[in-house]
Structure 1
Amino acid sequence: MRVTPYLCQRRGRFYFRRRVPGFSPKMRPVMVSLGTTDARTAFKLCVQLTAHMDLMLTDTLHSPLSDADITAFFHAELLSYLGSLREQRLHERIDGSLTSEKARKNRLEALVLRGMVEDGLREEMPTERSNALEAGESETARSLYDAHLQHFLRPAFNDDIQRRAIALLGNRDLTAFDKLQLRWAAVEARAAAHEAVEAVPLHRAETARGAAIALLHDMLGAALPTVTIPDHPPQMTPPVAAAPPVAAPIPVPSGPAPDPVAPLTPGVELITGRFTATTLKAQREQAENQPEIGQFDGHASAPQNEAIFGTDLFGTTVRMNRRSRAKDESCTQKLKTVTLFIYLTGVQRVTEIRQHHLDLFGREIEHNLPKYYWKSPSQQDLTYRELLDTCRNLPRDAIGVSRGTIKRHVTVMKEIIGYAAQEGHGAAFAPATAHLLPPEERTEAEKRPVFTAEQVRKVFSHPLWTGCKSEYRRHTPGKKVVKDHHFWVNLLLVYTGARRSEIAGLQATDLSEENGIPFISVRPNHLRGLKNRHSKRRIPLHPHLIEEGFLEFVEKARNRGAPILFPEAIPANKRAAVLRDTDARPSYDPKFGDALDHVWRECLERSLPDAPKGLCLHSLRGYVNDTLINLREADGRTQMVPDIDRRDLMGHVATDTNEANYRRDEKPLGRLYEAVKLLPRVF
């Protein structure tokens, strides 16, 4: 009895029976006993076996594209697109159509395509990418991004890719995944071509100059004879015209010609022996002591037309740091990256770096480098191999650095290579770093968890805010509420969404009032700067802060002549000097206020013993932003707080030119006050 096309019954038992498609019809069909006499159970098993067999047949009969196929297609795409792109750029240079705007657009196009490769084909350009661009470039970059995204997703583009792939690899039955792989290879090829054209000069200036000098030497002769000038020179006869020499053809350069004697930064000596923390520290100190370029004194003979830009990595990085406006902490981190790169690869000159060195560097810091190294004096004089020998018994979780650290290190190396090209030491390759990053397994929200409203209420139900035993027993319930720096800083954070350093560094003069609305001004001072120019803003005070007496707290500080509201936020060993030096140049310090962190952590651990990993004081900023985003009107769809008001309150960058350039610097407080009042009370 046949129940389904693949189910039959014999002597009361059910069997699965199917002929394998694609094989000889004379072959007997596959027949498997299902081990049951129940029709319902047999039917379910038959459906499952049919599905599994279809998958097995698909895998057997279809041969997917291999990695070698994808690589071959990528190289073919790269060769074709690179040739057409180079020809296009040469036309722009030769016919005079290359304007500064077009050159800027070409550079941004390479950056946009590189971002697509590193971030994937997203619906819109990531905000962190556009924020990293110079002022006025983000709008052009977004326009280029949208145009490329539409082009890559267009059916005609993908049909052309598949036709070229079939012509190259032979007639194939491409699956949906094969088609996606081919499209990705084409996108990567375009990104690589644009970066290569931007990195490698299209002109032959250096080679032509060298050929001209050689030709001039040939014309003058290798050695001119010594001539004795007589008292009465003989009458000159017209010289016989010599046949013009035939110039050798100028070769096409494959990359920048290396200097015959590559200079070093003045004072820097290359390491010729063991690469250890001690020898690298000495070379770094030599580079940091290199002289600055002197000032022009106003005399025509005084300009310094020549400067020695050494090819050593430390010297190049120090000059890059001096030229940039990066924070001191960032500059120090870049020098640490160079130290680690030399330690792991042995390459000391930027002109000697090749792609395989970057690959080696990324591989070692991910898989072999201990998380903690050079911590003991005994490790300071070990080479890398000797260091690894001492760490062989470490557990696996103590080896390798995080994805974010890897990204920072390889990005710094790419930045240094790019800067060296500005000094005339261009790389002979276009450095690629995207493949060095391990796959990201967490979403953006998982990387930095955000408090829920319930978690916030639990934390602020702690005795520190609701009543403790005494000032020195803040974690024991009681009737005393001590309204000091621990009380106010954390309460201000949950009602303003500000950063800890912004609140911990407030001065008494930062509290003001406008049209009956009290507010704090977040602005740089001698204690700390701000993260960026968008961080400067005014934040209205939540009614709960006023009810708890924050205005009185500030007034008392003014009456006793205290300019700083929370001096306890300054480390004790620096407090006196910082308070005295009111003319110090402000610099942003994300760790400003660390002195207050121990009490907060204790409150958090006692209130939320099972808190998610990563939940911290900065998560309050995420809580405020998340709360304002999710507030809805009665229809359940309309946001109660417009995005522009939320960004003004949080100190985030505007999303378009209209918001950024055509508004007053000081945003109206009315709408911001209405948004702040919507934040729920925490106790």
Structure 2
Amino acid sequence: MYDALASGDLSPADCKSWLESVVRAELAAITQTRTIARLDPAASAETDRHADWAQAQAWRLIAERGLGASVAPADAETLRGAGASAEAMATLERLHARIVSEILAPAGVATMIAAARAALAPTQPDKAPLLDAPSYMTILQLRKFLIAGRAAAWDAADQMTDPTQNWANDFARSLVASQQLPECFVTARAEAAAHTSPPSSEVVSTPVASPVFPIAGPPPDKFTFDPDLLALVGRINSEPDRAHIKEDSRKQLIAGVKLFMRATGITRITDVEQQHLKYFKGVLQRLPRHYGKSPKDAARSIDEILARADDLPEDEVGLAPRTINGHLDRFDLLLRTAKSENLKVSDSIELGLLRVPETKRDRDKREPFTVDDIRKVFRHTVWTGCHRADRRHLPGSLVLQDGLYWGPLMAAYGGARREEILGLAPEDFCEIDGIPCYHIRDNAHRTVKTLSSERLVPIHPHLIELGLLDHVAERRKARETAIFPELKPTNDTETFGDKIFYNWDRALDIQLDGNPKGLCFHSLRHYVIGFLKGDKTVSEKERRDLVGHVGTDAHDENYDTPTRMWEMLQIVMRLPRVF
């Protein structure tokens, strides 16, 4: 039955040892938590029962559906039919999301690997080298049995019946029935009768946090740092002196390291050599330009993605030099941090030998829209009327005012970046001196690029005529946290713009005869800046204040005052109406 995961380094015996360790540790933790709750209660017994029920249900759903699935409406209906209250379901959804986040987080991966080393190394020392530098597929093996083991432990502890024929869960349950399990299982089984039915209408408090796996052996030396790449990234992102680093930059660091691990199989900074980075650079030069835009890319192997790239036109293959060099710059940060922690990294790595020369001047990298281009694009059915919500490119009578509709319009009337616009919250809209505007700043969903990016942008009168303020008011009344809630990212690698990418790109192809200039959302920003540069009545400072550019010298940065909102509105109104 372990052949299903034979692509990693763990043998069937390794998998069994790891799974047994997970089940034992989780049962011990469950028993300890219940003992503490019974002898030193922090909440009512009913609240503890609700928390246990949510834990068991969350792990069962994750084991059956995987980490990408959420609590589906059908699941909620089934559980409510069995007696679960609305409060209990809300607790389950919160707990489910938290567990998934913890499993995928760099710290969670590092903890899992450390626990696996402790579980396997004492009894199988010859297997320890495999766990010193686990491959990407081995990490997936460990994760599979981590989920199966914890789900089975909760399933056994609460005596829940599960009719599914999931082989990993079935095996885990057979371990639970084994006489070789620790004495704590007897206690858990004896208490199971009190934890069988789903909670009903009582108030549910925040569930008890899942205990971390106990790791055998003495505590780690506080002066010793884990060389695991994801653990290293976690330390970098949590350093107090990097608190000013924007969330997008933190996500880029995590995503880049995960891509490197997928491409090379290297998981520790101490194992990285020049040839690995050279190979990684080659992979980046062969990836499709739009790699990562499709959710399916996450499920494909690097070889599958590169094979798809072989069928693409040459101009659609290979990441841009700036992007590749950005990956190399992030590895420079990783290596410097590892050296500061006295980790033994290779002395022969020379990232400068791998840098890709730029082939274009910065101003030539993206072409701007012309006024004619802009008006052609906004004659598309997204803005004039489409067939239905899932047929935005067919003509009809439906004008759906969502993020795809408003985002490009707001960019054409203000020059803001894609995420600056699409990630706006209702509270980011306000009035200054009686002029409606939106405040581009950090919010709960995303950060802004730089300190100079934070600014107030007056709303063009055409947007008000089209109903933008009404749209914001509706989102505020509905207590939404984003003005385009349908675009909210569902994981750490997604952005608001990912949800409109396909339809926006398709609209450009249709309206601009294949889009030969390669125009994109950011080209709208270039259009606004270029248009205002051509208007000699608009000063350079006024233009910078509108689009969020840094000043040209210390005088601009330290002594200038922001352009008044009335003047900013006059500048925005110089931009031509798009239809």
Judge conservation of contact 2:288–2:309 (CA < 8 Å) in 1: no
**How far apart are 1:643 and its partner, in Å?**
1.9
Q: Which residue of 1 aligns with 2:410?
A: 492
Write out aligned runs for 1:357-436 (5 A): 357=275, 360-361=278-279, 364-365=282-283, 403-425=321-343, 429=347, 431-436=349-354
Q: Which residue of 1 aligns with 2:538?
A: 641
Write out aligned runs for 1:37-76 (5 A): none
**How far apart are 1:532 and its partner, in Å?**
3.2
Residue-by-residue CA offset, 1:11-38 (whole Å, 9 max, x unaligned) = xxxxxxxxxxxxxxxxxxxxxxxxxxxx
**How far apart are 1:494 and its partner, in Å?**
0.9
Q: Which amino acid aligns with 1:330?
A: Q
1:284–1:411 CA distance, 2 compared to 1 (3 A):
farther
Q: Which amino acid aligns with 1:519?
A: C
Indicate yes or no: 2:572 matched with 1:676.
yes
- Find the residue that maps to 1:518 and give its secondary structure: strand
Indicate yes or no: 2:557 matched with 1:660.
yes
Q: Which amino acid aligns with 1:335?
A: V
- Find the residue that maps to 1:496 and give its secondary structure: coil
Q: Which residue of 1 aligns with 2:252?
A: 330
Q: Which residue of 2 aligns with 1:651?
A: 548
- Find the residue that maps to 2:333 and give its secondary structure: helix
| Distance of 1:513 and 1:401 partners within structure 2 | 42
**How far apart are 1:478 and its partner, in Å?**
6.8
Residue-by-residue CA offset, 1:133-178 (whole Å, 9 max, x unaligned) = xxxxxxxxxxxxxxxxxxxxxxxxxxxxxxxxxxxxxxxxxxxxxx
Q: Which residue of 2 aligns with 1:595?
A: 499
Write out aligned runs for 1:101-250 (5 A): none
**How far apart are 1:641 and its partner, in Å?**
1.9
| Distance of 2:483 and 2:131 partners within structure 1 | 55
1:276–1:681 CA distance, 2 compared to 1 (3 A):
same
| Distance of 2:133 and 2:556 partners within structure 1 | 56
Q: Which residue of 2 aligns with 1:320?
A: 236
Judge conservation of contact 1:513–1:519 (CA < 8 Å) in 2: yes
Judge conservation of contact 1:266–1:310 (CA < 8 Å) in 2: no
Equivalent position to 2:518, from 614, 620, 623: 614
Q: Greater helix percent: which structure?
A: 2
Q: Which residue of 1 aligns with 2:431?
A: 513
| Distance of 2:450 and 2:482 partners within structure 1 | 22
- Find the residue that maps to 1:624 and give its secondary structure: helix
Q: Which amino acid aligns with 2:578?
A: V
- Find the residue that maps to 2:439 and give its secondary structure: strand
**How far apart are 1:336 and its partner, in Å?**
2.0
Equivalent position to 2:447, from 522, 525, 529: 529
1:641–1:338 CA distance, 2 compared to 1 (3 A):
same
| Distance of 1:554 and 1:393 partners within structure 2 | 41
Write out aligned runs for 1:257-276 (5 A): 270-271=129-130, 276=135
Residue-by-residue CA offset, 1:541-563 (whole Å, 9 max, x unaligned) = 22322333434444555567666
1:503–1:433 CA distance, 2 compared to 1 (3 A):
same
Q: Which residue of 1 aligns with 2:49?
A: none
- Find the residue that maps to 2:130 and give its secondary structure: coil
Judge conservation of contact 1:366–1:406 (CA < 8 Å) in 2: yes
| Distance of 1:627 and 1:676 partners within structure 2 | 11
**How far apart are 1:540 and its partner, in Å?**
0.9
| Distance of 1:462 and 1:498 partners within structure 2 | 22
Aligned residues: 372
Indicate yes or no: 2:460 matched with 1:542.
yes
Q: Which amino acid aligns with 1:568?
A: E
| Distance of 1:554 and 1:370 partners within structure 2 | 37
TM-score after normalising by structure 2: 0.52
**How far apart are 1:305 and its partner, in Å?**
9.1
**How far apart are 1:625 and its partner, in Å?**
1.5
Write out aligned runs for 1:271-350 (5 A): 271=130, 276-279=135-138, 306-311=222-227, 315-323=231-239, 324-325=242-243, 327=247, 328-336=250-258, 338-339=260-261, 343=265, 348=268, 350=270
Q: Which amino acid aligns with 2:523?
A: S
| Distance of 1:558 and 1:314 partners within structure 2 | 38
RMSD, aligned α-carbons: 4.9
Judge conservation of contact 2:136–2:262 (CA < 8 Å) in 1: no
1:480–1:441 CA distance, 2 compared to 1 (3 A):
same
1:305–1:555 CA distance, 2 compared to 1 (3 A):
closer
Judge conservation of contact 2:411–2:421 (CA < 8 Å) in 1: yes
Range moving further from structure 2, 443-452 or 471-480: 471-480
- Find the residue that maps to 1:493 and give its secondary structure: helix
**How far apart are 1:661 and its partner, in Å?**
3.2
| Distance of 1:347 and 1:559 partners within structure 2 | 47
Judge conservation of contact 1:270–1:283 (CA < 8 Å) in 2: no
- Find the residue that maps to 2:412 and give its secondary structure: helix
**How far apart are 1:419 and its partner, in Å?**
1.0
| Distance of 1:378 and 1:463 partners within structure 2 | 33
Residue-by-residue CA offset, 1:194-242 (whole Å, 9 max, x unaligned) = xxxxxxxxxxxxxxxxxxxxxxxxxxxxxxxxxxxxxxxxxxxxxxxxx
1:531–1:476 CA distance, 2 compared to 1 (3 A):
same
Q: Which amino acid aligns with 1:550?
A: L
1:557–1:661 CA distance, 2 compared to 1 (3 A):
same
Judge conservation of contact 1:489–1:504 (CA < 8 Å) in 2: yes
1:310–1:272 CA distance, 2 compared to 1 (3 A):
closer
Residue-by-residue CA offset, 1:310-357 (whole Å, 9 max, x unaligned) = 5565554443344355535224224325525753xx79553x766x54
Q: Which has the higher contact order (CA 8 A, sep 6+)?
A: 2
Judge conservation of contact 2:261–2:267 (CA < 8 Å) in 1: no
1:475–1:656 CA distance, 2 compared to 1 (3 A):
same
| Distance of 1:393 and 1:678 partners within structure 2 | 43
Judge conservation of contact 1:283–1:314 (CA < 8 Å) in 2: no
**How far apart are 1:456 and its partner, in Å?**
0.3
- Find the residue that maps to 1:512 and give its secondary structure: strand
TM-score after normalising by structure 1: 0.45
- Find the residue that maps to 2:424 and give its secondary structure: coil
Judge conservation of contact 2:431–2:437 (CA < 8 Å) in 1: yes
| Distance of 1:567 and 1:393 partners within structure 2 | 33
| Distance of 1:625 and 1:476 partners within structure 2 | 32
1:491–1:430 CA distance, 2 compared to 1 (3 A):
same
**How far apart are 1:458 and its partner, in Å?**
1.0
| Distance of 1:650 and 1:555 partners within structure 2 | 25
1:501–1:423 CA distance, 2 compared to 1 (3 A):
same
Judge conservation of contact 1:451–1:622 (CA < 8 Å) in 2: yes
| Distance of 1:518 and 1:378 partners within structure 2 | 46
- Find the residue that maps to 1:626 and give its secondary structure: helix
Percent of aligned pairs with the same amino acid: 31
1:431–1:657 CA distance, 2 compared to 1 (3 A):
farther
- Find the residue that maps to 2:350 and give its secondary structure: coil
Residue-by-residue CA offset, 1:257-278 (whole Å, 9 max, x unaligned) = xxxxxxxx96665438997532
- Find the residue that maps to 2:448 and give its secondary structure: coil
**How far apart are 1:461 and its partner, in Å?**
2.6
